[in-house]
Amino acid sequence: MGGLLSGAWIDHTVNGLIVGNIYALLAVGLALIFGVSHLINFAHGSVYMVGAYIGWACFRLLDAPLPVTLLAVAGGCALLGVAIERIGLRPLAGSARIAPLLATIGIGLVLDQLAQLAFTPDPRALPSPLPDWRIQIGGGTIGALDLLIAGVGVGSAALLYGFLRFTKLGWAVRATALDRDAAQQCGVDVNAVNRAVYAIASALGGVSGLLVGMYYNAIDPYMGFQAGLKGIVAQLIGGMGNVPGAIAGSLLLGLTESYGIALFGTSYRNLFAFVVMVLVLALRPNGLFSRARQTPPEPLTGTFVAPSRPVRIPGWLLWALGIAAAALPLAVQNAYVLQTLGNAWLYAVLALSLTLVAGTVGQISLGHAGLLAIGGYASALLALDAKLPVALAVPAAGVVTAVLGTLLVSPAFRLRGHYVSVATLGIGEIVALVILNWESVTRGPIGVVGIPPLSAFGTPLLSAPWVYWIPLAAVALVAQVQARLLGSHLGRTLRAIREDEVAARAYGVGLDRYKGLAFGVAGFAAGIAGALMAHVYSYINHETFHAPISVLALTMVILGGLGNVAGAILGAVALVGLPELFRAAAEYRMLIYGVTLLLLIRFRPQGLLGTV
Give whichever of 260 and 605 is closer to other proteins, judged by the CB atom.
Answer: 605
In the complex, minimum distance from the CB of residue 350 to other proteins, in angstroms, rounded to a whole number: 20
Residue 242 in the binding site for other proteins (CB under 8 A)? no
Nearest residue (CB) to other proteins, 53 versus 514: 514
Separation of alpha carbons 577 and 343, rounded Å: 8
Nearest Cα to Cα of residue 234 among 215, 222, 248, 213 = 248
CB of 367 to other proteins, least distance (A): 22
What residues from 61 to 100 belong to the interface with other proteins (CB under 8 A)?
none
Strand, coil or helix: what is 385? coil
**Are 340 and 581 a contacting pair, CB within 8 Å?**
yes
Q: Which of residues 437-496 bind other proteins (CB under 8 A)?
A: 481, 484-485, 488-490, 492-493, 495-496
Least distance in Å: CB of 331 to other proteins?
A: 34
Indicate whether 217 belongs to the interface with other proteins (CB under 8 A).
no
**3-class secondary structure per residue, 69-89:** HHHHHHHHHHHHHHHHHHHHH
Q: Which stretch binds other proteins (CB under 8 A): 10-18, 244-252, 300-308, 434-442?
A: 300-308
Is 88 within 8 Å of 104 (Cβ atoms)?
yes
Task: Round to whole Å and give the CA distance between 353 and 482.
Answer: 9
Which of the ranges 72-80, 142-150, 507-515, 565-573 carries the binding residues for other proteins, by CB under 8 A?
507-515
Comparison of 60 and 484: residue with beta carbon closer to other proteins: 484
Among 65, 127, 460, 510, binds other proteins (CB under 8 A): 510
The stretches of 410-463 forming alpha helices (DSSP H) are 418-437, 439-442
301 binds other proteins (CB under 8 A): no
22 touches other proteins by CB under 8 A: no
Residue 500 interacts with other proteins (CB under 8 A)? yes
Q: How many residues bind other proteins (CB under 8 A)?
A: 35
Asked if 370 touches other proteins (CB under 8 A), the answer is: no
Choose among 352, 272, 344: nearest CA to 563.
352
- How far is the CA of 342 from the CAs of 314, 537, 580, in angstroms? 25, 12, 12
Distance in Å, CB of 406 to other proteins, minimum? 10
CB-based contacts of 578, cutoff 8 Å, min separation 6: none
Crossing angle for the helix pair 511-537 and 335-354, to the nearest 10 degrees: 170
Among 74, 305, 412, 478, indicate the residue that binds other proteins (CB under 8 A): 305
Q: For Cα atoms 550, 553, 557, give the angle at the middle one, nearest 5 degrees.
A: 135
Closer by beta carbon to other proteins, 125 or else 182: 182
User: Which DSSP category does 219 fall into?
Assistant: B
The reply to whether 517 sits near other proteins by the rule CB under 8 A is yes
> For strand 455-456 and strand 140-143, is the pairing parallel, antiparallel, or unpaired?
unpaired
Query: Which backbone phi and psi does 564 adopt, to 5 degrees?
Result: -90, 120
Q: Counting contacts by CB under 8 A, is residue 60 touching other proteins?
A: no
Is residue 403 involved in binding other proteins (CB under 8 A)?
Answer: no
Our finding on whether 255 is near other proteins (CB under 8 A) is no
**Is residue 521 within the footprint of other proteins (CB under 8 A)?**
yes
Does 611 bind other proteins (CB under 8 A)? Our answer is yes
Query: What is the C-alpha to C-alpha distance for residues 523 and 521, in angstroms, rounded to an integer?
Result: 5
Measured between alpha carbons, how far is 459 from 466 in angstroms, rounded to an integer? 12
The correct pick among 268, 499, 537, 546 for binding other proteins (CB under 8 A) is 499
Residues forming contacts to other proteins in the complex (CB under 8 A) are: 293, 303-305, 307, 481, 484-485, 488-490, 492-493, 495-496, 498-500, 502-511, 513-514, 516-517, 520-521, 611
